Amino acid sequence: MMNFDWQSTNNSIVFTKLMVVKRTYFMEVILRQFELKLKHTFTIARDSYDAQPTLIVELKDDQFSGFGEATSKAYYGISIQNMIDDIRAIEFMIASLDNLLPEDFWMELYPYFKKNMFALCALDMAYTDLYTRKKGMKLYDYWNLNIAHNPLTNYTIGIASIPEMVARLKEMPWPIYKIKLGTKDDLKIVRELRKHTDAIFRVDANCGWSVDETIANAKELKELDVEFIEQPLKADDWEGHKRVFSKSVLPIIADESCQVEQDVLKCHDHFHGINVKLVKCGGLTSAKRMLEKAKKLKMKTMVGCMTESTIGISAIAHLLPLLDYVDMDGALLLTNDIANGVTIDNGVIKYSNDNGIGVTLR
């Protein structure tokens, strides 16, 4: 028989197993909830927020712990509570899967989490971290990836008044910026920001533009040395994506249109590249498969973040050798990061000395 002890603190919610009889499982599943507070209100074309709820999963055996993370996102119908509920529903089964390869662990859990890939992401990340820690390896070494030529991460400037956006750019001098757009003043924003830096610009409209608007904007944005446009149209506008793909003078990168593995092939010949989010696709295991598939299709590859703490950001770092571009600035936007792991200086990512994904919870 097994009981559950529910503990609550100001910062976290923890579910732990209290053993009443002889131990019959191998991993402890610990869930913690945090509220990540942002330095500035973060606004995109469809949303605005000052804090980001996140769920941290710890999978623990007698010697090691592995950590994973997934933030909530109303746009995708995901809350912290439904992640907790879905994990607890099969917690005993999850705890018994400690002798599998990470790829097999993912496959075992996928049937239970088809409708909650965010929860699967946190579990997959935690298990992959635990597995590689037990192997005494960093994750990129386990994957046999060469980190010598990793791309730099951009820093994101959220939508605000033009003076505020200029101030945030000056507050964080950086070699690459991603500029959130989707307003009536988009071109004016980029023109003004360009006056203050020679850095690389990328723009993300978060589904906020039309086909004709995208094609026209691309011409002027190219003159302003913008590198690419991310997700200009609504996610399911495949006819529109095809028209933009054929006529845009700038590369178009899919985000909302490329959520899971099946979407990679759909995006081929509709986008020039894909931006993979770990939470949307179910974690590191599936993200790696998506990136490898995109590279075979000669598409550009990118991974983005969802304002995660350093746990989620450190996981992204191990995919860098597979990427052309990366947006992993989430922890830099926070006032209360909850973990130690990778560090970022002027766009350059430095790994921690720890094995696995290389994180410790503060």
Q: What is the pLDDT of residue 2?
A: 37
> pLDDT-derived band of residue 25, with 50, 70 and 90 as boundaries?
low
| Cβ contact 79:72 at 8 Å | yes
Residue 35 is which amino acid? E
Over 50: is that where the pLDDT of 97 sits? Answer: yes
Gap between the Cα atoms of 324 and 313, Å rounded: 17
| Per-residue pLDDT reduced to its tens digit, 55-87 | 999 999 999 999 999 999 998 999 999 999 999
Please tell me the predicted confidence (pLDDT) of residue 17. 41
Q: What is the mean pLDDT of residues 194-218?
A: 98
Give the pLDDT confidence score for residue 47 in this predicted structure. 87
Predicted pLDDT at 352: 98
Q: What's the pLDDT at 11? A: 46
Q: What is the pLDDT of residues 334-343, one digit of tens each?
A: 999 999 999 9
Mean pLDDT for all residues in the chain: 93
Q: Which of the four pLDDT bands, split at 50, 70 and 90, describes residue 20?
A: very low
